[in-house]
Amino acid sequence: MNDVDFKDLVATWKDFPTKGVLFRDINPLVRNPEPLNYLNEKLFNMCNNLQMKKIAGIESRGFIVGTLLAMRLNKGIVLIRKEGKLPGPTIKQSCSIEYGTRVMEIQNGAILSGEKVLIADDLLATGGTAIAAASLIEKLGGIVVGFVFIICLNKLGGLDKLRSQGYDLKFILEYD
């Protein structure tokens, strides 16, 4: 497998989940062992030199990216979920996304003060969810060491938004 073959596996769905959205679907990348192993290797090679204690995966496909990295790097994983999906006391952060708004949350105590955290998700679009995730981690006293994505959608502004806030970003595939 190579980068071209890997990118060719990304499915594109027009008008999903709402009209006007061109959805990049990673499901074909993870349903077979060869591209999944390729993804695992690419993620590891991008992140193995980062100093972190935990990885935070953003619901839901970020759980895949985060879990692959956590297992490979021998780190813990923390889940950042949509509102109402986590038990116990949580903190919340609202955000704008490409096709609306949402509230994200993390469990209190999931990140300890001073812990370094890498945030993982499948795709960077407008950056709203990523910024909300960073805000949640920082509210708990954590230090965001960067972000890792499978896909970056350059035209939607998330890359520039996160870089302007000083965050380190890593991604495998880019689309204009």
Would you name the residues annotated as active-site residues? 61, 98
- Six token digits for residue 152: 């970056």
Backbone φ and ψ for 43, nearest 5 degrees, come out as: -60, -45
Using the 8-state DSSP alphabet, how is residue 117 labeled? E
C-alpha–C-alpha distance, residues 144 and 1, integer Å: 32
ω into 33 cis (within 30 of 0): no
The secondary structure element, H or E, covering residue 132 is: helix 128-139
